[in-house]
Amino acid sequence: MNKKEKQNRIKELIGNSLIPKEVKQIVLKNLVKYDEKILDGMLESLARESVAMNKLASDLMRFDVESQKRWDDLEIEQLKVADDFVEQAFKDLTG
């Protein structure tokens, strides 16, 4: 990857980064001044952050789906218990 490609990739990654806005602005303003070693370090750090945030988002989505399924299952179980109770109570009343 040449220097221009690295700069473009950094611009893409920094847009989604959790880095404070002020720091992003400084980085972007001075991007053309940085040597390749600094660009490589930025790319590595921003890429790791991106991977970590994507994994976290995926984990949170999976947790949400699993939690909703457990709540749905619990609701079905509660309705079944209530139906069984009402049915038994009706049988007891009607003999």
pLDDT per position as a tens digit, 15-54: 999 999 999 999 999 999 999 999 999 999 999 999 999 9
Rounded CA separation 10/41 (Å): 10
Nearest to 56, CA basis, from 85, 83, 95, 16: 16
pTM of the predicted model as reported, rounded to 2 decimal places: 0.69
pLDDT per position as a tens digit, 63-83: 999 999 999 999 999 999 999
Position 95 scores a pLDDT of 74
Position 64 scores a pLDDT of 96
Rounded CA separation 17/53 (Å): 9
Rounded CA separation 62/22 (Å): 33
Place of tokens 């221009």: 4
